[in-house]
Structure 1
Amino acid sequence: MKVSGFIIFYFCIILTGTGLAQTFKPNKNVEQALQTIDPKNIEAHIRYLADDRLLGRLPGTSGYQIAMDYVVNQFKTAGVEPAGENGSFLQQVRLRKAFTNKGARFALSDANGKEEALRNGEDFILYPHFENAQVTLQAPLAFVGYGISAPELNYNDYAGLDVKGKVVVIRRGAPRSFPSSVAASSMSLNTILNTALKHGAIGVIISSPSNYLRELNGVNSVRFPDGKIAASGSYVSDKIKLLSLFNRKCFNQLLQNSGLDTSQTYTSLSAGKTASADLPNQIKVSYQNTYQDLDSYNIIGKITGSDAKLKNEYVLHTAHLDHMGISTPVKGDSIYNGAHDNASGVACLLEISKMYTQLKVKPKRSILIALVTGEEMGLLGSSYLAIKPIVPSKNLIANINTDMPTLIAPLLSVVALGAEHSSLYNPVKEAATYLNLAVEADPEPEQNRFVRSDQYSFVRQGIPALHIKYGNKTADGANNLNKIVQQWRETYYHKPQDDINGTFDFNAGKVYTQLNFLISYQVAQNSTRPTWNPDRYFSKNAAVSK
């Protein structure tokens, strides 16, 4: 209830603080475009992209190439302009999968110099280093609670502690008082690593929530043309030499042997009271890394705006084109078709691109439509596009992401993930009101959905972004769509059963497409570019990113 109350509170601030002038009323030009959406076209896109012959659209495969060709052909047919590299629709995305050798050595010594060798795969696992094939490290330890530095929320685990040249030890989590999206961002590996790097740490050890450690079958990243790493969920800089996960028992034992009462410490942290301390231990680590590199592509189209000046600013729609390829068989099927995840999102964007090209008078700003790669590998295609945009970064003013809209029931209400942090909530509310949709707070804050899809790549670069998901409202008045979706996930999510033969409501896809179009259209028409809400976590971090 605290989370929902917080979000509703800030929605009120957004509405009263910006002073909405009047209800949005689309002109005839826009109304005609809205009526061109046909649920049968959405179904046709999904049916094609989720066909078995695309083999699950894994980046670097022939199936992904077929999906790319389809999108490019749809863009050309609709009259969308190419916005990729060298006059094409494509942006090259260089992917790297890294592996750590099973013979990695990890020793922990106490204050008396007594050394204990830890067991790889049982006591700990190591994330690979993406740039150094061989890593050797010896360093002291420091416990830094959750590893969060958020002075704007009056919380800083690093306050009063010098961790330069040390490996920081972190219990992953966030204080109870943190809003769900802020907590999710604070707990992301990328945020944890960047915060540690900012304070001079050279490594990070994190507690696993269980005593069982799942083996890492390679970790993914995306590289710049010079080979340097552009982005990864588990790597931020060559200066961070170590990222390791300890099982819960081993982690707790480390703190207890250093004189910390884990029960008291964890209770304090949850209550928002820091409990950081230097530890008397040292570590010695040695491990090797190997790499597999491949190329994939983002597909990017453009609709040029009508205003002589504002057409040089861009509103970006994104949806990921990739899925998981061929993997572990489930009920005799091994092709992970990804019909909902995310052929449905791609279908919506293809229809949005047609709506924009059919407008007789284009919006003032330009529109970019990007179908990105590597989302299932860790938001890699969108991360690269956000870091290395195909337009000047200062001119990329907003991102509206579409990922698995879950079209299984009539769309009667929506959740605008991330909108509470910026002025983007206004066009969401206006568009939803026009379509007779309710806007609700996130019914599943524990899912951390705000940081789990491509919009978060743009948030990290300081660009206001949101992701529209289903709300809870149902036609029968039970208003429990989240429970229905939870049941659906058990059968379909990230399984071969997510194919065209599953549950679909294509008319919901029509409404969803209209909503996302109306949001971006308003942003593109508004003379004022979107802004982060002042004195908030993401506005502070956006300033740092810039």
Structure 2
Amino acid sequence: MKCRPKFYLIPVCSLFALITLAASGTAQTSLGASQSDPNVSASVIKAHMAFLADDSLEGREAGTRGEVIAAQYIATQFETLGLLQAGAKQSFFQTVPLRSARLDTSDFEFTVKSPFGDKSFKNGDEIVVFANLQKETISNEAGVIFAGHGIVAPELGIDDYKGLDAKGKIVAVLGGPPSFLPAAEAAHFGSTAQQRLTAAKHGAIGVIVIWTPILENSFPFDRLRSQFSSASLTWVGPDGKANIAAPEIQVRAFVRGNAAQALFQGAEQTAAQVIVAGEAGPVQGFALRTSLKLSLLTEHNDGQHSRNVAALLKGSDPVLADEIIVLTAHYDHVGICAPKEEDKICNGALDNALGVALMLDVARMLSAQQQTPARSILFLAVGAEEKGLLGSDYFAAFPTVPIKSIIANINLDGGLPYYEFSDVIAFGAEQSQMGDRLASAVAKIGLSVAPDPFPELGIFTRSDQYSFVKRGIPALFLYNGFHDQNGDNLGQELWNTAFAKHYHRPSDDLSLPINYQVTAKYADVFRLVTLEVANARLRPLWYGNSVFKKQFAPEAPLANRD
């Protein structure tokens, strides 16, 4: 980003100016369920984004000075609004200890062995292997089997491991959400984390994900392979142990093209054939005639940390105030992402300075009400989302409030604030009564709820709300809708452009044509759905047919669809 004043040159003055803007909103004595001042919101949101997306924060990467400054800024805003400290040790902060792992690229081997000859591959070409977060030295050689999509789901009639012996083996699976499953089931069972957990249950020691067209559409392999030399991160618990899903899975790799074909040398089907078959339905697994030798060295560093920033608005109802709705937005981004370019900083204006600014504005509006909402609201700005939802997952594992008191989560992560939208998108809306609460809330301002425009991408599992979903808590991932006031779909093309040209790139900055009046409308949607959930007589429940209820809250009460 260029040609903008640097806030670090005048930190006290700039901070005072922003606080003054926020305070101008609190001069209102009351904000009812259908009242807000879009002009005030637009100004406040613009100011927050200007600070958070400034070059001086250097992209707010987890564990860096920029992230520390952003966290301190958010905490200062919470304090200005008179919110209660809800972090650890009577503060606004919760420290998230991190382990980083970086590959020693000078000592690496990935060799596919078969009766037809051995083939070795260089990391970052047609294979991608990231640093190992559990062990610094990995040296394994094991046979490989193919297990379809790696799914075991009796309720869906699928057992990709049927008849296979995975014990001590490396399992090759088709990557991405299977297109033949309902969207939610596809997102859950098609995630690499779930594939590894399932493989571990069957005694496997490794998982190789075969790159498929559906994965390519959502995240190009070229982008994946550009990241293998970057540090991998996870959080470290109070017991000093790193959080690793399926630690038994020591071999974790992604392959495409010639590397995938090499694994299937002499097999009953080729890699290309199983990829095509997997687009139509479940694929029966089979043993392969190959083995894999993988050797890598990793350097661990447990000295880094991120921080979550938490503040509480206490509810007004003497009974319901003990129940908490958590509003989340991640404040980290990807830092100095293009070190060889003139504009080297990924400022993350939309991803996710926007989400944090909206959350801060909702905090301003709700705290300005003469009577606070019936239930308590926890405003949670999470760190290290870009490293794998680490901040939110750490909070969900070690919450600073009783986990049983959390009844819902509403998450913001980006948006397209360019046009007057006539509908809203809420990923996960069909899974619980949270969708009904949203529909009721936005109807008050003449909006409707649109269905998930990308069910095949499994977006509901890919942002911070999923950390709460995995603990059985109903959640929404809120996004502005794609249709304008004339009913035209403007958002689809803008979404495609955003991900092709701006996502995790230096161009995601304040030079984008952001309409701050639209951001104010977005904040009002966030406010209204929060009030709808907070003031409802009953807490929101999962629907009985939700895959997430079945997996993460099987004993919880369920709601029946009308």
State whether TM-score is above 0.5: yes
Q: Conserved in 2, the CA contact under 8 Å of 1:269 and 1:275?
A: no
- 8 Å contact 1:105–1:285 — kept in the other structure? yes
Instruction: Answer whether contact 2:59 2:335 (CA < 8 A) is retained.
Output: yes
2:392 to 382, 386, 390: 382
Decide whether aligned partners of structure 1 residues 173 and 447 sit closer, same or farther in structure 2, where only a CA change above 3 A counts. closer
How much has 1:228 moved relative to structure 2?
A: 1.5
State how 1:28-39 maps to structure 2 within 5 Å. 30-31=32-33, 34-35=36-37, 38-39=41-42
For 1:154, the equivalent position in structure 2 comes to: 157
1:72 to 65, 72, 75: 75
Q: Is the 8 A contact 1:330 1:496 kept in 2?
A: no
Deviation digits for residues 401-448 of structure 1, max 9, x if unmatched?
011122111132111111111111111100111111121112234554
Note closer, same or farther for the CA distance 1:438–1:385 as it changes in structure 2 (3 Å cut): same
Q: What corresponds to 2:122 in structure 1?
A: 120
- Out of 238, 246, 267, which is 1:225 matched to? 238
77-86 or 98-107: bigger deviation: 98-107
The CA deviation at 1:516 is 1.3
Q: Does 1:482 align with 2:484?
A: no
2:377 corresponds, among 367, 370, 382, to 367
Q: 1:246 aligned to 255, 262, 272, which one?
A: 255
- Partners of 1:299 and 1:370 within 8 A in 2: yes
- How big is the shift at 1:390? 1.4
- C-alpha RMSD of matched pairs (Å): 2.6
Cα distance in 1 between the residues matched to 2:227 and 2:529: 42
CA displacement 1:310-341 (0-9 Å, x = unmatched): 32221100001111222316973122222221
Cα offset, 1:33, TM superposition: 5.7
Judging changes above 3 Å, is the alpha-carbon distance between structure 1 residues 505 and 287 closer, same or farther for their aligned structure 2 residues?
A: same
CA contact (8 A) 2:178 2:190 kept: no
Q: 1:352 to 1:445 in 2, by over 3 A?
A: same
**TM-superposition CA deviations, 1:160-206 (whole Å, max 9, x none):** 43323222111213433223343233332212212222332221112
Give deviations 1:355-407, integer Å, cap 9, x for gaps: 22222222232111001111122221112112222122222221100111221
* 1:100–1:126 CA contact under 8 A, matched in 2: no
In the TM superposition, residue 32 of structure 1 has moved relative to its aligned partner by: 7.1
Residue 273 to residue 190, structure 1, CA distance change in 2 (3 Å) = closer
Instruction: Give the distance between the partners of 2:546 and 2:493, measured in 1 at CA.
Output: 31
**Worse overlay, 239-248 or 179-188:** 179-188
Structure 1 residue 489: deviation in Å?
A: 4.5
The CA distance in 2 between the partners of 1:329 and 1:295, in whole Å, is: 23
CA distance, structure 2, for counterparts of residue 462 and residue 31 of structure 1? 28
Equivalence map 1:230-309=2 (5 Å): 230=243, 235-262=244-271, 264-293=273-302, 294-309=304-319
DSSP-derived class of the 1:104 partner: strand
Q: 1:545 to 1:196 in 2, by over 3 A?
A: farther
Letter in 2 for 1:105: E
Residue in structure 1 matched with residue 560 of structure 2 by the alignment = none
Structure 1 residues 145, 419: closer, same or farther in 2, change over 3 A?
Answer: same
Conservation of the 8 A alpha-carbon contact between 1:152 and 1:536: no
Is residue 216 of structure 1 aligned with residue 228 of structure 2?
yes
Give the aligned partner of residue 50 of structure 1.
53
1:104 and 2:108 correspond: yes
**AA of the residue aligned to 2:148:** G
Residue 207 of structure 1 corresponds to which residue in structure 2? 210
1:283–1:493 distance in 2 versus 1, CA, 3 Å: closer
CA distance in 1, matches of 2:478, 2:34: 23
Offset at residue 221 of structure 1 (A): 1.5
Residue in structure 2 matching 1:169, options 156, 168, 172: 172
Distance across 1 between alignment mates of 2:498 and 2:263 = 41
Letter in 1 for 2:361: E
Please, which of 428, 431, 442 is the counterpart of residue 441 of structure 2? 431
For the 8 Å contact 1:152–1:535, the answer to whether it is kept is no
**Distance change in 2, residues 1:479/1:250 (3 Å):** closer
Partner of 1:11: none
Instruction: Indicate the SS of the match to 1:299.
Output: strand
Structure 1 residues 266 and 55, CA gap change in structure 2 (3 angstroms)? closer
Summarize the alignment of residues 320-339 of structure 1 with structure 2, pairs less than 5 Å apart: 320-328=330-338, 332-339=342-349
User: Could you tell which deviates more after superposition, 532-541 or 258-267?
Assistant: 258-267
Give, in angstroms, the shift of residue 241 of structure 1: 1.4
Change (3 A) 1:328 1:33: same
What SS class does the counterpart of residue 387 from structure 2 fall into? coil
Distance 1:247 1:428 in 2: 41
Query: How many angstroms apart in 1 are the aligned matches of 2:271 and 2:66?
Result: 50
Alignment check: 8 A CA contact 1:321 1:372 kept:
yes
Instruction: Report if aligned partners of 1:416, 1:466 keep a CA contact under 8 Å in 2.
Output: yes
- For 1:479 and 1:128, the matched residues in 2 are separated by 42
Distance 1:408 1:329 in 2: 29
Aligned residues of 2:428 and 2:475 also touching (Cα < 8 A): yes
User: Whole-Å Cα distance in 2 between the matches of residues 512 and 215 of structure 1?
Assistant: 33
CA distance in 2, matches of 1:109, 1:502: 50
CA distance in 1, matches of 2:508, 2:31: 37
How far does residue 296 in structure 1 lie from its aligned partner after superposition? 1.4
Return 376-385 or 258-267, whichever deviates more. Answer: 258-267
Contact 1:107 1:115 in 2 (8 A): no
Distance 1:66 1:518, change over 3 A: same
Name 1:516's counterpart in structure 2. Answer: 526
How far is 1:347 from its partner?
0.8
Q: Which amino acid aligns with 2:299?
A: T
Aligned to 1:144: 147
Instruction: Describe the superposition over 1:437-489 as per-residue Cα deviations: whole angstroms up to 9, x where unpaired.
Output: 12111223455432322112222232211111122211344323221343355
Q: Which amino acid aligns with 2:98?
A: L
Cα distance in 1 for partners of 2:245, 2:299 equals: 18
Q: What is the letter of the counterpart of residue 283 of structure 2? A: T
Residue identity matched to 2:162: A
Match of 1:454 in 2: 464
Between 31-40 and 199-208, report the one with greater CA deviation. Answer: 31-40
Q: Secondary structure at the match of 2:293?
A: strand
- Does the 8 Å contact 2:96/2:308 carry over to 1? yes
One-letter code aligned to 2:43? K
Query: Which of the residues 347, 355, 372 maps onto 2:357?
Result: 347
Q: Deviations over 1:503-532 (max 9, x none)?
A: 111121112111112212222222322222
Kindly indicate whether residue 474 of structure 2 is the aligned counterpart of residue 472 of structure 1. Answer: no
- Change in 2 beyond 3 A, CA 1:359/1:144: same
Judge conservation of contact 1:143–1:279 (CA < 8 Å) in 2: yes
The match for 2:20 is none
* Structure 2 partner of 1:13: none
Q: Per-residue deviation at 1:78?
A: 0.6
Deviates more, 1:63-72 or 1:182-191: 182-191
Question: Residues 403 and 453 of structure 1 are in contact (CA less than 8 Å); yes or no, is this contact kept in structure 2?
Answer: yes
Q: Which SS does the other structure have where 1:101 is aligned? A: strand
Is 1:40 aligned to 2:43, yes or no? yes
| In 2: Cα distance, 1:287 partner to 1:376 partner | 24
Q: Which segment is superposed worse, 159-168 or 142-151?
A: 159-168
Q: 2:199 aligns with which of 196, 199, 215?
A: 196
